[in-house]
Structure 1
Amino acid sequence: MSSSGVRDTTPAPPGGTAPGADTAVTIGVAAIAGGAISLIIALVTGGAVTAEVIPGLPDSGPLTRWGLPVSTMARDLASALTLGLLVLAVFLLPLPAPEDKSGARPLGAQALGYVRAASWAALCWAAAAAATLVFQLSDISGLPPQEVMGNQLTSYAVSVSQGISLLLMILAATALALFCRTAESASSAAVLVVLAAAGMVPPVLTGHSASAGAHELAVAGLALHVLAIAVWVGGLAAVTFHGLRAGAQDAPVAAERFSRMALWAYAGVAVGGVASAVSRLYEPAQLFTTSYGLLILVKIALFAVLGAVGYVHRRATVPRITETAGRRLFARLAGVEIVVMAAAMALGAALSRTPPPPDDGGVPTPAESVLGFPMPPPISAQTLLTLWRPDLFFAVLVAVMGGLYIAGVVRLRRRGDSWPAGRLVAWLAGLLLMTAVLLSGVATYSMVLFSTHMVQHMLLSMMAPVLLVLGAPVTLALRALRPARRRGDRGPREWLNAFLNSRFSKVVTHPGVATPLFVFSPYVLYFTPLFGMLMSDHSGHVFMNVHFLLSGYLYYWTIVGVDPGPRRLHHLLRILLLLLAMGVHAFFGITIMMQTEPLAMSYYGQFDVPWADSVGEDQYAGGGVAWAIGEIPTLLVMLALLRQWAGDEERRERRRERHSRRGGSDDADMDAYNAYLQELDRRARAQEGPARAERPAPEAPAADQETPS
């Protein structure tokens, strides 16, 4: 019986004894030892545990100085293992062949065992996060851990951003520990993967990255770095254990799939790590002259070693994993890789306790403290084109969306299939518009001027989604992605189909949901304190822009979408929904213009824009933008909708002509109706025949009848 709760009945490969559970235990012990040694060396070198205690000042004590990085490392390892086990169960192991086409797809026996094992890892994750919460408060307050328990800890967890983020992580890990005991289907386990990934993000938003000058680079970079490492480390640990215990049955499939996933994770670790380092170091020389920079150099060296080992895995061990010698080589290389990964994660925990180099630029102005960058010069065409913002989240999003779309088109054309050039142009134009409003000077000035922010909002929610919807990305993906090799298994194409047919997709694409979300969410955002709260935090600002983009995409998908969806609306209903939404949006702009008090003064009142009009006048101009800018997308959507309607009528006419040539009438609908009436008449005659036979003969024939001879 394995530790995952599933009996291993697969015979060992011929030709010798393959490594098994003992090897997995050895690798785990070596990883813990290597991580502990690396953590101790990094903490001592970085000065996190050797800081001089000044008499008279509060000191949390050595237990907190050592306990906080140790609990942080344990939290990171447990969270990575939780995510890795779930990824293995849902995406790397093949699903069993379905017995029928109805109902949810159940997981296989081994995959279900890994989901159950993830519940124990999530429980350890929650415990380590709870310990981190206690040690963190002890470190901030300067009190020993035993003195911060009780009401002080509760108040910290619900009122301070760092405490709230850890509390959210604890709740997510606890929920995972419970739900992993009940999940049975592949879809429910996939939801748990999303929950595990989301549970890792909150502490990232309140750490060193949140205080960095370049918020757009630091926060997104560290979040990408943490998630990619979790997938890489946790996935490798889970796949290695599975390869050591599952024989040659499904191990080659899992290893091959993880090899492709690890390549993406490696790229994510690199991009996120570089972005995080650039946001914390103000000049290249600090890499060699500061403890923080030296720890980064060591992480870079370990990263290069991991890349070399991963290359050997991909070329040498993965193709030979079904052989005994290949499994031994795989176990040795995986063991080295896991130990090096544990050391790298220990360095990450030490970096979180090592103070970054100070900024020699002097005391930041109030605007710099709020915005993360100096107050920009007066707005002009030149500054809009030159003052670009390094927002890593949207830069990566645009690059991935564009790269995957072009790759799909290339795959279609290589196999001789065509793809309309208009759809390609529409998709690229939508990405270009996203780049212009999210990364250029428009993004810079949207942080200080409400009018520019409203331009960004309108283009993101009403113009870019139209172009993206007309690009038909779902149709392209369904045509370009290959079906799963095994019957009943789920690859990217099958997962996309499952999502399109899911209950969630049916709900969010319903006109009764998509239309109110698109039309009324601006009222909820701008006329409540929510707008000021989201503008004051970079992650809130990202959430707001993503909401604009997604709500617009869902709405226009129901109106003018080319991709297949759960339902198709009549063209007249689409026109009515379009006119309704545009009317409500115009009224929204008028409502802003009629405001007597400026909106979100909790944010705009923190700094002064010396070259701009007053906040009230600028917001009046923003209301005018919201009122006027809706005409352009309305005209574009109306033209596309009329063209689609005409195309549908043309296709229907061609079907009628084909039916007519086969002997039917010119109107297929009329033919069907006539056939229906003929069937009713036939049934009536069949029922009338027996009734006539039972009737008594008349006494005399009617005057207009003749007696047969």
Structure 2
Amino acid sequence: MTVTSAGPAEQPVRDRLTDPSGVRSVLIALLAVVGSIAAVIVTAASAATALQLTGVPDPGWLTTYGMPVMTVIGQLSAAIGLGCVVFAAFFVPSQDNGALDVGGFRAMRWAATSMTVWAVCALAMIPLSISDVSGSPLSETLVPKNLMTAYGVVADGRYWLWTAIFAVLAAVVARVAMRWGWTFLAMALALLSLMPSALLGHSSAGGAHDLATNSLILHIVAAALWMGGLMAVLAYAFGDGRWRTLAVARYSRVAFWCLLVVALSGIINALVRMSLGDLLTTTYGLVAVGKFVAVVLAGLLGGLHRKVTIDELAATDEPRKSLFVRFAVVELVVFAVAFGLGAGLSRTPPPVLGTANVSPMELKIGYDLDGPPTFTKLFVDWRFDLIFGTFAIVAAIVYLRGVYRLHKRGDKWPVGRTVSWLLGCAALLIATSSGFGRYAPAMFSIHMMSHMMLSMLVPVLLVLGGPVTLALRAIPPAGRGNPPGPREWILTAIHSPYSRFITNPFIVVTLFVGSFYVLYLGGLFDAVVENHSAHLLMNLHFLVSGYLFYWLVIGIDPAPRQISPVAKLGVVWGSLPFHAFFGVALMMTGSIIAETYYRSLQHPWNFDMAADQRMGGGIAWATGEFPLVVVMLALLIQWHRQDDRAARRFDRKEERDDDAELESYNQMLRRMNAPAPVSAEAETGAEDLAAQGDGER
């Protein structure tokens, strides 16, 4: 039955989606076959060269071709799983009580199945990757004793196990989710399941692997969201979903940005591994060109069918969903080819792969440092961080767009808030992409400088920018009877139980201060410092924990918890001494934190690790004073403004009531000062006493 896109008042309460599971299963099988064929063809063209370069024995055809097939099936499943979760969260609305509507509910069930397949493929990749690295046939690798012995040696096996764990958790959450809020947990777990894939293969080895890994993270996430979202929208539109026009329109906006990210990150990742001259002269270059062509073709098809078919889907008389379905199926097939080429590309040796001419420092952090840091180098010697640097630029542009939207409609926005936000974005860019970010992986003191900027300076400036308030004023409300949009999502997030939990003062202070002790004095930094992913997670933790802390104590945005200025002052005074103690403890520590790692870098200058660590502790101790001054000043200003607002509200109320409250207060004072009334008996008694006194005289 066809459900037309009439107005909200004419539509049924619940979505009457037909079940497109059969068509979906056939389409997924087709995509898996197409992608696997492309991956096998690429692998066959480069398998001999790969074996020759690695110098390991041939593990057999089952491993050689099983790995790309499992990779492409797993990545397609992961993309569909992530796309379905995002579809349930943002592309179609939930019911008024927060429960998932039939479209979102069914998408979450599809996500659970897809993530389960992704987990199975990841588990299958453990013995396959061990067989590939060791050159042993798969039959020998599957022997439990051999498998357990090799698992502790082959890093790829551990990465794939983590992938399987996150995929299973995402599948479980997606399977039991009945309400809209649970989609975000499933989304986070699905994204985490994609992260180990970015740390495998060519991008994680050799020079410039920091750029290669960051670009691959962006590439994988954007491609999965692009392809998986299209699959979810296609299945929903094929089932005559009530909100199909809305879903396609929302997906179209997301797909445009995914196209840009996939294309740019793919170009960066390819150029890290080869020169422009290798594009048409090597197998790796030809496959990379083929993948880029497939991405561009998918983008053109997407732009064409979204331009043509959205209006067709919105037709109230006879919507031509078949036109959208045909375009979408062709686009998905092109996606499958691109995924297959990508899986085959991961098995193809790039033109520059060996590490014979790579220095120990470049092997560890991805680049060389030619000398100790100087003031000039810290501010001039830049290496752009594709994750946090891009976020800083995008955040500044989005904020300015919101300010422009307010000014365009005649509303004012404080200039100070705009300046504060832009300074925060600039500080984030400097902390991660300037010489501070460049030297941070190689020197503990510079790492601590970057850490303090990310946890102390950047969050203060961003919080004072009031981004949530700007978003709530700049984004128009969805309107009564319409599906919720970004403004409603923000309000729901602010007032959610999770937000109330995470903004509990005890939780906030523990995350902000306690993590310093656990990370540096608890030995965690020693264990994870060599991993590029750990540096990304540390930067993210510093930024988020600092933002939560300052949002609680000086935030001007709406917050789940409102505490008094006195309580805010208590939180600041109660937490910052622990930060100072941490700096002192760091300076007094006798052992060198991460000594093995810093020694393995073999700095090309005289590097005193003990002195560098003491300097890092001094930086941690000294920088705690700056936010204290800023926070105290901000609290005093907010306190003064709060009193002024209360006084103005009182004056307006008195003007409306003709000073009724003041007059009532004056009457109370007059009653208190008036002489007490004298009763008749007391007056008679007083006359008798007066007469008695006269007689005695």
TM-score when normalising by structure 1: 0.87
Decide which moves more: 203-212 or 648-657. 203-212
| Kept in 2: contact 1:204–1:222 (CA 8 A) | yes
Q: CA deviation at 1:516?
A: 2.4
Looking at structure 2, the residues matched to 492 and 159 of structure 1 have their Cα atoms a distance apart, in angstroms, of 47
Residue of 313, 319, 342 corresponding to 1:348: 342
Looking at structure 2, the residues matched to 450 and 242 of structure 1 have their Cα atoms a distance apart, in angstroms, of 52
Deviations 1:367-397 (A, max 9, x none): 2222221133232222223321132111221
Whether 1:38 aligns to 2:38 is: yes
Residue of 284, 288, 297 corresponding to 1:305: 297
| Kept in 2: contact 1:43–1:49 (CA 8 A) | no
> What percentage of aligned pairs have identical amino acids?
37
Whether 1:566 aligns to 2:560 is: yes
Q: CA deviation at 1:538?
A: 1.3
Residue of 96, 101, 105 corresponding to 1:112: 105
Whether 1:334 aligns to 2:296 is: no
Looking at structure 2, the residues matched to 532 and 557 of structure 1 have their Cα atoms a distance apart, in angstroms, of 31
Counterpart residue identity of residue 61, structure 1: G
| Kept in 1: contact 2:50–2:348 (CA 8 A) | no
Deviations 1:197-247 (A, max 9, x none): 221112222332111422331111111111111111111112112212216
Whether 1:61 aligns to 2:60 is: yes
Residue of 581, 601, 604 corresponding to 2:595: 601
Counterpart residue identity of residue 649, structure 1: D
Q: For residue 556 of structure 1, what is the aligned residue in structure 2?
A: 550
Q: CA deviation at 1:269?
A: 0.9
| Kept in 2: contact 1:534–1:544 (CA 8 A) | no
Deviations 1:261-310 (A, max 9, x none): 111211221232122212222x2112122211111111111122112111
| Kept in 2: contact 1:593–1:620 (CA 8 A) | yes
Looking at structure 2, the residues matched to 405 and 512 of structure 1 have their Cα atoms a distance apart, in angstroms, of 31
Q: Flag structure 2 segments of 5+ consecutive residues without an equivalent.
A: 6-17, 669-678, 685-697
Change (3 A) 1:23 1:130: closer
Summarize the alignment of residues 621-660 of structure 1 with structure 2, pairs less than 5 Å apart. 621-660=615-654
Counterpart residue identity of residue 314, structure 1: R
Counterpart residue identity of residue 163, structure 1: G
Counterpart residue identity of residue 269, structure 2: S
Change (3 A) 1:216 1:58: closer
Looking at structure 2, the residues matched to 417 and 295 of structure 1 have their Cα atoms a distance apart, in angstroms, of 52
Q: For residue 446 of structure 1, what is the aligned residue in structure 2?
A: 440
Deviations 1:480-502 (A, max 9, x none): 12223563733211211111111
Decide which moves more: 543-552 or 622-631. 622-631
SS of residue in 2 equivalent to 1:564:
coil
Looking at structure 2, the residues matched to 52 and 444 of structure 1 have their Cα atoms a distance apart, in angstroms, of 35
Q: CA deviation at 1:41?
A: 2.5
Change (3 A) 1:306 1:19: farther
Q: CA deviation at 1:610?
A: 4.6
Residue of 137, 161, 165 corresponding to 2:130: 137
Q: For residue 141 of structure 2, what is the aligned residue in structure 1?
A: 148
Q: For residue 128 of structure 1, what is the aligned residue in structure 2?
A: 121
| Kept in 2: contact 1:19–1:331 (CA 8 A) | no
Residue of 280, 286, 293 corresponding to 1:288: 280
Q: For residue 71 of structure 1, what is the aligned residue in structure 2?
A: 70
Counterpart residue identity of residue 223, structure 1: I
Whether 1:375 aligns to 2:369 is: yes
Q: Flag structure 1 segments of 5+ consecutive residues without an equivalent.
A: 1-8, 99-103, 675-700
Instruction: Give the length in aligned residue pairs.
Output: 658
Q: CA deviation at 1:627?
A: 1.9
Deviations 1:644-701 (A, max 9, x none): 1111111111222233332456679x97xx9xxxxxxxxxxxxxxxxxxxxxxxxxx9
Counterpart residue identity of residue 65, structure 2: W
Change (3 A) 1:11 1:216: same
| Kept in 2: contact 1:208–1:352 (CA 8 A) | yes
Deviations 1:136-171 (A, max 9, x none): 111122222222222433455566432222112212
Summarize the alignment of residues 231-270 of structure 1 with structure 2, pairs less than 5 Å apart. 231-246=225-240, 249-270=242-263
SS of residue in 2 equivalent to 1:299:
helix
Residue of 517, 522, 528 corresponding to 1:528: 522
Q: For residue 499 of structure 1, what is the aligned residue in structure 2?
A: 493
Q: CA deviation at 1:112?
A: 1.2
Residue of 164, 175, 186 corresponding to 2:180: 186
SS of residue in 2 equivalent to 1:598:
coil
| Kept in 1: contact 2:85–2:107 (CA 8 A) | yes
Whether 1:583 aligns to 2:577 is: yes
Decide which moves more: 558-567 or 512-521. 512-521
Counterpart residue identity of residue 566, structure 1: P
Counterpart residue identity of residue 394, structure 1: F
SS of residue in 2 equivalent to 1:288:
coil
Deviations 1:6-42 (A, max 9, x none): xxx54699xxxx9988876775555344323322322
Looking at structure 2, the residues matched to 28 and 507 of structure 1 have their Cα atoms a distance apart, in angstroms, of 40
| Kept in 2: contact 1:44–1:50 (CA 8 A) | no
Q: For residue 694 of structure 1, what is the aligned residue in structure 2?
A: none
Change (3 A) 1:612 1:622: farther
Summarize the alignment of residues 461-472 of structure 1 with structure 2, pairs less than 5 Å apart. 461-472=455-466
Deviations 1:122-142 (A, max 9, x none): 222222222222211111222
Counterpart residue identity of residue 43, structure 2: L
Summarize the alignment of residues 349-428 of structure 1 with structure 2, pairs less than 5 Å apart. 349-358=343-352, 362-428=356-422
| Kept in 2: contact 1:123–1:177 (CA 8 A) | yes
Looking at structure 1, the residues matched to 411 and 606 of structure 2 have their Cα atoms a distance apart, in angstroms, of 54
Deviations 1:46-92 (A, max 9, x none): x12686789x9643111111111101111011111112222222221
Decide which moves more: 22-31 or 361-370. 22-31
Q: For residue 4 of structure 1, what is the aligned residue in structure 2?
A: none
Looking at structure 2, the residues matched to 21 and 112 of structure 1 have their Cα atoms a distance apart, in angstroms, of 13
Q: For residue 434 of structure 1, what is the aligned residue in structure 2?
A: 428
Looking at structure 2, the residues matched to 652 and 325 of structure 1 have their Cα atoms a distance apart, in angstroms, of 56
Looking at structure 1, the residues matched to 568 and 646 of structure 2 have their Cα atoms a distance apart, in angstroms, of 19
Q: For residue 691 of structure 2, what is the aligned residue in structure 1?
A: none
SS of residue in 1 equivalent to 2:181:
helix
Deviations 1:522-560 (A, max 9, x none): 111111221123321111111111111111111111111
| Kept in 2: contact 1:119–1:178 (CA 8 A) | yes
Counterpart residue identity of residue 61, structure 2: P
Change (3 A) 1:12 1:44: farther
Looking at structure 2, the residues matched to 651 and 187 of structure 1 have their Cα atoms a distance apart, in angstroms, of 36
| Kept in 2: contact 1:212–1:218 (CA 8 A) | no
